Structures are given as C-alpha cells and as structure tokens.
C-alpha cells in the first residue's frame, strides 16, 4: 500500500529455504553479519532490538572507503512475514544525522517449500529513487539478497 | 530514554483536565484542529489514522505565509498515556519530502485530578535543535499546549 513505483524500488528473489529460516537470517545478528552487505564489504558489530522503536546498528568495512557505521530504527515486526526498518531514525524513534533516508520493507511469502522474498526501498522523491538506483540498488541489494538465500539454504 | 538534552527540546504544562480528556484532544481530528497551531494560525483538514504507521495529515493557514500542508506518521500509541509521531515519514512508513525532520513524543501523567503534559521534540543534531529553538519552539509549542489545556478543561 505504501509502495509507490515513482519513488520506490523493489526486488524479489525465490529462496529454497522456508520463511522461518529466512526470518532467522533477517533478525539474528550473527546471521545478519553473514549476508547483509555484498561481499567484499564486511558487516560486523550488528545489534538489533527487534521491536517497534528498537535500535538496529551495524558497522560495514568497505574496502577502499573504511568503516561505515549504520544506525536504524525498527518500525514493524511480523515474525516470519514482514520486517520494516528505516535509517531516518535510530533507536527510540530518534531522528538520525547524515542518513540516506529510506525505509526498508522486507516481506516473506511461503512458496512451495521455499520463500518468495521481496525487498522494497521507499524514498522521499523521484530524485532520491534515481540516485539510489544509480548507486547500485539492484546490484547491491540484489547481491545481498542472493547471499541471504544461500545462507538460509545452508542452515 | 530517547530524549537527549543536547539535541532535543521539551516543555511541560499542568492541565486541570484528566488524561482521558487530554487524550481525546490529541487524537480526535475535530479537537486537534482547535489547539494544534498557535492562533492566529488555523489548522484544518486534519486526518489521523491512530495506529503505528498510520497517516497524520493537516493543513495550516498561516497569515502572511499561506497554506502549509503537513504530513506525518504515527509511531507509537499508548491510549491515555503516550503518543509518538514524526514528520520524517507519512503514512505507511514512507519517507517525506521537504520535512523539517523531527519526532514528537507527547506524554500524559495523571496528577491529582489533572494531567502533567510533556511534549518533546527530538532532532537529528545540535544545529537542528538550535534552529528549532530560534524558530520559536517554546513560544509556538507552548502556545499550542496552553490552547490544548484550555480546550480540554472546556470539554
């Protein structure tokens, strides 16, 4: 309902693993670190307070760019089905300085034995959407989604 | 917990009305229009979908400045006690274009027959806090709070 093709981006993947296993990969910090950023970027020090208003933190080590700390806020948790978070805020609904400014809507639907995974990035404007696409949304989120599917299948 | 005196602002008021009555004024559109902006600014066309992720819309008619539409997103609803919303997003967790970028945390505590009202504005930085203070946070939110208290006492 809140997805707007003029301002937002999305991708889908079909995973062999069941939604419950994919959900673990979306929400357990030690598993998040194994898929969250496309290799060779390394994600570490993930913490996730899995409730509305909870903090979602991570650090990415980007070769050639150094360390990028990330601060987000959990918006919606529907276990096994839907996770929504944003980088507009950090824990406690607190506005974030220096954020890119998007909301991530991640949904899981059972499909046979597996999962239909959908990742949406909601933006404030068409310009921001175009910028995110140019930065490599499909490649970056796509590679991370593939890593997520592989990790879930291995569990 | 999320209030940070370095970046955030707050004010408190003591109201004669009980929390349940003040809560009505915070959440019923027809009542919101009667206190939300300091007179002579007129608030109209308020709609509020009172649930996490719900839309909060309004239009303010500002003498000498014209019409200012407002779009917000409800974050947290604890009836009679606590309402949190932000202008960083509109309904459906969708990032907002052109927002000032704050979170409003409004809390009601019973105090005798009346209510201790606390309004906090959370900001992304010390600079934004200073800007909001200079724009007249204490005068504007203060006048609106006084109107809220008078309205609640009249119900």
Domain boundaries, chain B: 8-154
- Are the C-beta atoms of residues B76 and A93 closer than 8 Å to each other? yes
Q: Give A5→chain B minimum CA distance, Å.
A: 12
**A94 interaction partners in chain B (CB closer than 8 Å):** 2, 4, 7, 103, 122, 124
Average pLDDT over residues B77-87: 98
> Which residues, including other chains, have CB under 8 Å from residue A122's CB and lie 6 or more apart?
A2, A3, A4, A7, A8, A102, A103, A104, A105, B92, B93, B94, B95
* CATH class for the region spanning A8-154: alpha beta
Over residues A87-99, mean pLDDT = 96
Q: What is the pLDDT of residue B98?
A: 87
pLDDT bucket at A98, cuts 50 / 70 / 90: confident
Nearest to A2 among B1, B7, B92 (CB): B92
Are A95 and B53 in contact (CB < 8 Å)?
no
pTM: 0.95
Whether the CB of A51 is below 8 Å from some CB of chain B: the reply is: no
| pLDDT > 70? residue A1 | no
Q: Which candidate from A75, A97, A99 shows the least CB-CB separation from B93?
A: A75
User: Residue B1 has what pLDDT?
Assistant: 57
CA distance A68 to B53: 28
Q: What are phi and psi of B31, to 5 degrees?
A: -80, -40
């Amino acid at each position: 309902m809140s997805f707007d093709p003029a301002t937002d981006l999305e991708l889908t993947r079909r995973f062999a693993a069941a939604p419950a296993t994919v959900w673990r990969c979306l929400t357990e910090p030690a598993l998040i670190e194994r898929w969250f950023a496309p290799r060779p970027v390394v994600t570490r020090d993930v913490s996730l307070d899995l409730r509305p208003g909870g903090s979602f933190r991570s650090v990415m080590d980007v070769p050639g760019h150094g360390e990028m700390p990330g601060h987000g806020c959990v918006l919606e948790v529907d276990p096994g089905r839907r996770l929504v978070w944003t980088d507009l805020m950090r824990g406690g609904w607190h506005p974030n300085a220096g954020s890119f400014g998007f909301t991530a809507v991640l949904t899981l639907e059972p499909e046979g034995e597996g999962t239909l995974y959908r990742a949406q990035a909601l933006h404030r404007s068409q310009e921001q959407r175009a910028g995110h696409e140019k930065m490599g949304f499909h490649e970056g989120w796509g590679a991370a989604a593939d890593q997520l599917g592989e990790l879930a299948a291995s569990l």
